[in-house]
């Protein structure tokens, strides 16, 4: 997609992308704003559980965990950048 496309051309291209089974322009832009976050949790047997995925923020992942995995105790939620920083400073 080009920066000089009209709004109509952009909408038509977005519709064509959606009909082909791809993300539309709006969904594509939304995905760009997401970051991979990893939640480290413990289950009832004290096993460490790691859950990762693309989210708009740590709060969004924490909310999903509360709604769908309420049996887990969340220890921390870290971004890819957080994890890279920790690894770098442990060396």
pLDDT (tens digit per residue) in 4-45:
888 888 888 888 888 998 888 788 777 777 789 999 999 999
Give the model confidence (pLDDT) of 37-80 as tens digits. Answer: 999 999 999 999 999 988 888 999 999 999 999 999 999 999 98
| Stated pTM of the model | 0.62
DSSP, residue by residue, the chain: --TT--HHHHHHHHHHHHHTTSPPHHHHHHHHT-EEEEEEEE-TT--EEEEEEEESSHHHHHHHHHHH-TTSEEEEEEEHHHHHHHHHHH-
Indicate the pLDDT class of residue 1, thresholds 50, 70 and 90.
low
Domains present along the chain, CATH in parentheses:
1-33 (no CATH), 35-91 (3.10.20)
């Amino acid at each position: 997609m080009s920066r000089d496309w009209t709004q109509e051309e952009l909408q038509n291209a977005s519709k064509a992308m959606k009909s082909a089974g791809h993300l539309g322009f709006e969904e594509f832009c939304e995905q760009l704003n997401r970051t991979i976050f990893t939640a480290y949790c413990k289950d009832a047997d004290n096993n460490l559980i790691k859950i990762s995925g693309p989210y708009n923020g740590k709060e969004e992942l924490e909310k999903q965990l509360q709604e769908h995995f309420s049996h887990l105790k969340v220890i921390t939620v870290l971004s890819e950048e957080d994890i890279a920083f920790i690894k770098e400073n442990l060396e």
